[in-house]
Amino acid sequence: MADIIIMSVLVYQLYSWFKNTKALQVVLGLAFLAILYMVTRTLGLFMTSWILQELGTVVFVVIIVIFQVEIRQALYRFSLLRNFFGRQGNLQQLDLMEISAALFSLAAERTGALVVFQRREPIDEYLHHGVLLDSLAGGQLIATIFKNGTPLHDGAVLIKDGRVAQASCHLPLSLNSDLPRHFGTRHRAGIGLVERSDAVAVMVSEERGEVTLAVSGEIEKVDSPESLSARLTGLLSAASPIVEKETVKDRLLRNFWPKVVTVGIVLVCWLVIAVKQGGVVSVTVPIKFHNLPDDVVLLKSVPEDVEVQLNVFSNLIPSPRQLDIVADINLAKLHEGTSMLPIRTEDFKLPLGVVVTSVKPSSVRIHADRKIRRELRIKTRIFGRLNGNSRVRRIAVEPEMVSVEGPASVVSRLEAVETEPLDLAAVRKNEVVERPLQRPAPMVNVLYDGQVKLRVITSER
């Protein structure tokens, strides 16, 4: 139940943000492709389902590139910290009635204007080529800026923190094909900004002498300065734009049918994912170890793999037989001797929706020994005979001793470390040759990386 409620709230919130943008149309198209993929997979149409699956990988990357602005906007709105660090407009410095009267005065004169009010979300990334002003916001200044022939009349005026921050700003245009045909560049710029942020835009049409307000992608015509001032006061106040208190019932019934459809879609998705169980699967899993103490050597473990029974909650999850599942056991507390370590469910790294129901056997027997280090002499292995009448008088070895490391039960019985065999027939008189060392026993390491030098000292027979 909690899954359905949480996802319904998230999906409806995304819908309310992007319902008037092309992003929603793309999401609906992708939803159709996802439904088509599940249908073709269920019916066994392998070629179609494979093409849709491969196409989905490419489309996912393309969506991130194309809709990066919308994705960034959604993540910002979901952020809980934005309420602490977001800007708050200073309404005490704004005479909204004076600004509204100035805008209607421009409308009466058939002079175009575009004024943008920043609210919580920063909009600097959408503003281009603006001229910095940082002036007190007043009706006379607004009217002067948009008078025909003035240097800053072309573009938008930005009001931020109760002051006129910039003028002559270029804004991103709306790509909404449903906008009225008589909307020009000024209206499309204002609407394009409010589609991408929570800003408020007021547009004055020079052709029709109308004042239009845009917020959250919605457009409304304003008939009087008093109506515009009241609307801006509600939108720019630090509190929620909805001043009156709503009951829980009123909030639930507002936009009732979109909410019902959202819950229905989420419920269907939950049924597809959760109800169609993947069943119980048995797999053979190898045993691995980590955190082996530095002073301990692992000699043997029995068994080397275990039979694990897994419960898969949905058939949309890949089969565990296709996953690289291992039992990774922590040996941090291992000591020398024989130990029985239990195999716990925490030792398996499994994807979400897969749980361990049983493990056979439920423990692993580990034989360990103490790790020691010893110095051993180097012994030269030779075969063959020297050419001519020469004979080996002695072989000088450099170095003479080398360190080895390994289990105490094995290292304590070693007497020497041998070199790889040396063929005397290939050795010239008093020649120095290099040979690598051989590992004296399993699990014993020779702590010498280079090759030893052998000087074969000969004499005549």
% of the chain beyond a pLDDT of 90: 37
Q: Which residues pair with 375 in a beta bridge?
A: 403
Which residue's structure tokens are 């100035």?
Answer: 102
Task: Check residue 447 and give its pLDDT.
Answer: 94
Instruction: Give DSSP secondary structure letters for 115-126.
Output: EEE--SS--GGG
Task: Give the end-to-end CA distance of the chain in Å, rounded to a whole number.
Answer: 97
Residue 240: pLDDT band (50, 70, 90) is very low
Residue 300: pLDDT band (50, 70, 90) is very high
Instruction: Give me the mean pLDDT over the 82-97 stretch.
Output: 59
**Angle at alpha carbon of residue 296, lines to 290 and 300, rounded to 5°:** 70
Say how far residue 115 (Cα) sits from the centre of its chain: 38
Instruction: Give me the mean pLDDT over the 46-73 stretch.
Output: 74
Question: Taking 70 as the threshold, does the pLDDT of residue 399 lie above it?
Answer: yes
| Higher pLDDT, residue 18 or 325 | 325
- Of 130-134, 236-240, 322-326, the one with minimum mean pLDDT is 236-240
Which residue's structure tokens are 């609307």?
Answer: 231
pLDDT single digits (tens) 412-442: 999 999 999 998 888 887 788 999 999 999 9
Question: Taking 70 as the threshold, does the pLDDT of residue 318 lie above it?
Answer: no
| Structural contact between residues 45 and 61, judged by C-beta atoms closer than 8 angstroms | no
For 78-102, give one letter per residue: b (16+ CB within 10 A) or e: eeeeeeeeeeebeeeebbbbbbbbb
Closest CA to 319 of 346, 354, 349: 354
Task: Check residue 27 and give its pLDDT.
Answer: 72
| Structural contact between residues 368 and 297, judged by C-beta atoms closer than 8 angstroms | yes
Question: Taking 90 as the threshold, does the pLDDT of residue 362 lie above it?
Answer: yes
The mean pLDDT of the chain is: 83
Task: Find the length of the chain.
Answer: 461
| Structural contact between residues 192 and 184, judged by C-beta atoms closer than 8 angstroms | no
**Angle at alpha carbon of residue 73, lines to 70 and 77, rounded to 5°:** 140
244: part of which helix (H) or strand (E)?
none
- Of 312-316, 379-383, 428-432, 443-447, the one with minimum mean pLDDT is 312-316
Task: Check residue 290 and give its pLDDT.
Answer: 94
- For the beta carbon of residue 177, count every other beta carbon within 10 angstroms: 7
Question: Taking 90 as the threshold, does the pLDDT of residue 378 lie above it?
Answer: yes
- Of 10-19, 32-41, 134-143, 370-379, the one with minimum mean pLDDT is 10-19
Instruction: Give me the mean pLDDT over the 307-312 stretch.
Output: 88
Residue 243: pLDDT band (50, 70, 90) is very low
Task: Check residue 331 and give its pLDDT.
Answer: 94
| Higher pLDDT, residue 166 or 429 | 166
Q: pTM (2 decimals)?
A: 0.45
Q: What is the rounded distance in angstroms from the CA atom of residue 432 to the CA atom of residue 296?
A: 39
163-169 and 131-136 strand pairing: antiparallel
